[in-house]
Amino acid sequence: MVTSLKGRHCLTLTEFSREELLFILETSFSLKQRYLAGERIIPLLPGRHLAMIFEKPSTRTRVSFETAMRELGGDAIYLSASELQLARGESIEDTARTLSRYVDGIMARVYEHWKLEKLAQYSRVPVINGLSDLHHPCQALADVLTIIEKKGRDIESLKIVFVGDGGDNVLHSLMLAIGILGGKITISSPPGYDPHPSVLKLFNEHASGSFEIERDPYKAVENADVVYTDVWVSMGQERERERRIRDLEPYRVTVNLMNRAKKDAIFMHCLPAKRGEEVVDEVIDGKWSVVWDQAENRKHAQKALLALIIP
């Protein structure tokens, strides 16, 4: 039985047990239903403040966190990295010490994951990973919420397939979430694009589920319940663009690929999408796509996380 998650950080999702992840998801469902029933303000965090540090630009992360905090009765403060003293050489340690005297939680969207670890080490308040080069745990919470909504709660029985770059931060967090919940994920990527060794270590230490790597995308998605992809060139990888597109072109999600999955399969993408590269219009706009529900669920999943971990 889960008693309290107050004060927890959320950097990778491995901070939570299976029971705790399920508790966060159940809270997400409850808060979403209350929102859809007309409760636009549920004052679970009255007077609380969330500092949001952005090294990378954002649409979904910023808007979903801001609206989530306000709908919980709190407030969110947007802080671009260029506006902070970090841009003038103040250390992450001192930034964490200072901000955590002012606010009740810190969300940071950064290039390097070690910066989040440093923030958490020196912060008095919970630190949430809004995205790093290695992990995107809040996206994974929304993803699992969406999968359960569309395919039911028996994660262990589903065939979930990620097609594309296996070293992707979204895939890293998704595989950890599915693994902690006891499910299995198939990763279809070319050689040289496998999950990061540090993520494999976390998976082996915390997951009761499993994963497999299948190089052939058409074989990988055979009878799949869920097909997921992400962009091939993330922020910070622009210099690798030509090589990455060449290597990943066989892994584009097309109508022919989706036709190998189950008839009622769903297509997922964390967005933003580079249409015509990792996925074609006919798929992202087609009968399989749940990407807009998935994007909406960012707010509901994060609302639950915020309500549960901020003291």
Per-residue pLDDT tens digits for 49-90: 999 999 998 999 999 999 999 999 999 999 998 888 876 789
Q: Is 270 a known active-site residue?
A: yes
- The rounded mean pLDDT for the chain is 96
> Do 219 and 258 belong together in one domain?
yes
% of the chain residues with pLDDT over 90: 93
Residue 86 domain flag: yes
My answer on whether 240 and 289 are in the same domain is yes
Q: pLDDT over 70 for what percent of the chain?
A: 100
Is 241 in the active site?
no
Structural domains counted in the chain = 2
Taking the C-alpha atoms of residue 190 and residue 166, their distance in angstroms, rounded to an integer, is 8
* Whether residues 280 and 304 fall in one domain: no
User: Active-site residue 196, yes or no?
Assistant: no
194 and 257 together in one domain: yes
Could you say which of 9, 48, 49, 109 is catalytic?
Answer: 109
Catalytic position from the list 225, 270, 294, 300: 270
pLDDT band at 240 (very low <50, low <70, confident <90, very high): confident
62 shares its domain with 143: no
- Domain with 147, as residue range(s), is 139-294
Tell me if the pTM is above 0.95.
yes
Task: Report yes or no on 183 lying in a domain.
Answer: yes
Catalytic residue of the set 49, 136, 172, 244: 136
| pLDDT tens digits for range 14-40 | 999 999 999 999 999 999 999 999 999
User: Active-site residue among 48, 196, 298, 300?
Assistant: 298
Query: Is 109 part of the annotated catalytic residue set?
Result: yes
Residues 163 and 305 in one domain: no
Question: Do 96 and 169 have their domain in common?
Answer: no
Q: Which of 49, 133, 138, 139 is labelled catalytic? A: 139
Confidence of residue 277 (pLDDT cuts 50, 70, 90): very high
Catalytic residue among 9, 60, 230, 269: 230
**pLDDT beyond 70 at 104:** yes
